[in-house]
Chains A and B, each alone.
Chain A
């Protein structure tokens, strides 16, 4: 079949093809002006959001960032800031949705994982929090990557300490202690957390390093004292705790620790070069303290047995020449009393804590 040929069509096509040039040009100019305006609005609303966030007006910041995002919906920083302001406003569910959108695009993004970890932590979702915090620690950061990774690990450790997940917290903190943050505040926090999870050996050098840099910082002096106390370094502990107590007389805990350390020095029957009479006197004082402590058990049959043992022991110590062996026996009995009363008599007074530390240190030393 002979199809119609279209010369007029060719001419019209040629005209249309030529018309493409001005059409493209006009559209390009219009689109450029439009993009410029959109960009300007995004920056403007972004700035409003930052201002609001800095002034702790989280909901205003949310509105501003959200508006900014409509003008630049691909801006990941804006979406992250929106999520952060939503979290600041306590709107975690909304924040999570934006964070998940960001995470879908970049699962290895450090800041996004950190925020997701925070959301999961606030919701008590431990596995999710661990996953995202670890992703943040190993993730990509655009600037100051190492310090931000350390900060994320520190935050994770705090979360684990709060959740009483001590072994996991210890693992994170030991890793951090090997490569501590550079800023003093973070190191102080790290050292405090190390103390909280019973790692005074790692905490003390950090406190001491901080003391070199900030010798008058009360929290650091106090921390060093607590670390030395936990390590059983009484002389060091007494020195730091005395400074801390002098710096902050209202700090009851420091005062108590200092009292314990001082009591240890005056009560320790195992002290070197202690004359025999003094050792007997200290032993008897320990027995007296134990007898006073055991009364809190009331009519408990165990209390009666312990009281009887203590009375017999007192008599024995008084009647013998108070050799080291009888001192050991007496102090072992004191420890048994402290252990028996620990659960049912509440927090022991400083003297009991001091006695217990003396015996435990003795046992730890192989005595």
Chain B
């Protein structure tokens, strides 16, 4: 597409302004989305924290039927959480998310969560933000590269507003959706996330999501308990992931007409559970707050963690639109509280606070299920506003992450995309992939000619150094190819005593590489040069080796094998 060349905004400037607008609009959309969820819950389940069983048995299945009808008949692309769909938009559809998806996600998720399905609002918010961003990007005629980048930007804005946590949102999108830290992307994502949170604060207040007592490590033995929490969190995350990945494809293999009933059946099971334990319905933030305030015994907390896993797996696998963030945090909070309760029983001197353990449990479960370790740590710091909690969070999250990885090679979102027939890039695998560096393809330094070398000597040494061509150090820090043809011409003219310094005075310097640079960088720079000098970072006059195209390809071939 050709664009008219007239005075106006350049694309980077437009992109940043657009980031701001996307953030504001995403913030507004998420505010309305959250209100829609709460309003539908009020209408459908009533204002009590403990809805009557009759309501549960009626609303959950009927709500499931309505959601299924919406998804199957009107908005077929709004199934699932929204994270993978956003990734698919970035990597498969050039950043395209239809505006219809935004509308569908908004309505269907609000109805599903409001009617008590065990799902959360964060992932749909992420997709709503991404959808808005995509629409705005198309409207402003962004290039394809920028269009791909704009959906994650909206995703960060949507998630930030839903979670009231801009840092978490930025990190999650970088860790899970984009996978790279680029200055352009980071700046725009930060602008979008911050502006959406500002809008959200404007309408819904700026209180942190959870309030827990100040943390301080009372006893060194507590670190052991955090380790246990990490282990338990990793194992429970595995249970959740394995169950979801087992059930979802099986339900999708059933005849198409059953998809109209699956959310209703999930709703019936959840209603049965919620008759005794209404805490499993919806996102469950109010019950997480209760758990943090010691409102349940450890036995009840453990039971709630298990029941929430069952409820969420059913809701999610049945294709009901809604997110996994909140249920993940719920399960983690209950697990953390339960571990704290058990520690109190086992260790008489134990002084841990249930609120703190519940909070750390959230991060632990997030690390285990979502496999976004950095996000999981910062999320807990951000939602609690408590930096001192970082030590136990890191211990517990790391253990959970390692346990989860040990027994489940692929992260849940990667497997889900495979189940949907898509092969999206796995950010976890990208992070783990070994980086090939210049030093892996580097060869020993060839003959080095200095500025004092005469033409005759140079030609003699070049002949001796074959097959690696010589390289000349024209002056300090400047390396150049040796112009063999020119030297031979000078020799023929009888100018054999001329020095290389004179010959190379006007030569074009070669690009230099450093041993720790990636091979990708070497590949981009080598161009038509037969070799490039690799110099020491502390002294560009010291040649440590050279890199040739053959050497680079050989290193890549070794990595592939």
Contact = CB atoms under 8 A, between A and B. Distances in A.
B116 to A, nearest CB: 15
Contact of B204 (A8, A17, A31): A31
B11 A101 contact: no
A3 B213 CA distance: 53
A30 interface: yes
Interface in A111-150: none
Interface residues of A, number: 42
Interface stretch (A89-97, A172-180, A274-282, A300-308): A89-97
B8 interface: yes
A297 interface: no
B524 interface: no
B17 A13 contact: yes
B355 to A, nearest CB: 7
B14 A9 contact: yes
A5 B5 contact: yes
Contact of B50 (A63, A96, A97): A63
Nearest to A41: B47
Interface stretch (B66-74, B133-141, B167-175, B488-496): B133-141
Nearest to A8: B141
A45 interface: yes
B295 A37 contact: no
A70 B286 contact: yes
A4 B289 contact: no
A7 B5 CA distance: 8
A229 B5 CA distance: 108
B329 interface: no
Q: How large is the interface on B (under 10, 10 to 19, 20 to 34, 35 or more residues)?
A: 35 or more
Contact residues of A: prevailing secondary structure: helix
B47 A45 contact: yes
B255 interface: no
Contact of B21 (A17, A44, A74, A100): A17
Contact of B140 (A8, A96, A104): A8
Given A23-B28, A30-B32, A67-B48, A9 B140 contact: yes
B143 to A, nearest CB: 7
A44 B295 CA distance: 23
Contact of B28 (A3, A13, A24, A67): A24
Contact of A100 (B9, B42, B143, B213): B213
B38 A4 contact: no
Interface in A66-112: 66-67, 70-71, 73-74, 93-94, 96-98, 100-101, 104
B4 A94 contact: no
A160 B467 CA distance: 97
A24 B200 CA distance: 11
A4 B214 contact: no
A97 B35 CA distance: 29
B256 interface: no
A12 interface: yes
Interface in B336-371: 354-355
B9 A6 contact: yes
A34 B48 contact: no
A41 B47 CA distance: 7
A94 B295 contact: yes
B14 A97 contact: no
Contacts of B136: 12, 16
A46 B433 CA distance: 57
B24 interface: yes
A340 to B, nearest CB: 46
B213 A9 contact: no
Contacts of A70: 49, 286, 289
A5 B9 CA distance: 6
A27 B28 contact: yes
Interface in B5-47: 5-12, 14, 17-18, 21, 24-25, 28, 31-32, 35, 38-39, 42, 47
Contacts of B18: 13, 16
A235 interface: no
Given A9-B141, A94-B294, A34 B38 contact: yes
A12 B203 contact: no
B348 to A, nearest CB: 15
B294 A97 contact: yes
Given A27-B203, A97-B354, A13 B35 contact: no
A4 B5 CA distance: 7
B203 A13 contact: no
20 contacts: A5-B10, A6-B3, A6-B14, A6-B141, A7-B8, A9-B11, A13-B9, A13-B18, A13-B140, A20-B25, A26-B32, A28-B203, A30-B32, A31-B203, A44-B47, A74-B207, A94-B295, A96-B294, A101-B293, A104-B213
Given A9-B140, A12-B140, A97-B355, 20 more contacts: A4-B3, A4-B143, A6-B3, A8-B3, A9-B9, A10-B14, A16-B136, A16-B139, A24-B28, A30-B31, A30-B35, A31-B203, A34-B38, A41-B47, A45-B47, A63-B50, A94-B294, A96-B294, A97-B295, A104-B213
Return the 10 tightest CB-CB contacts between A and B, nearest first.
A97-B293, A97-B294, A9-B140, A31-B203, A12-B140, A5-B8, A3-B10, A12-B139, A70-B286, A34-B35
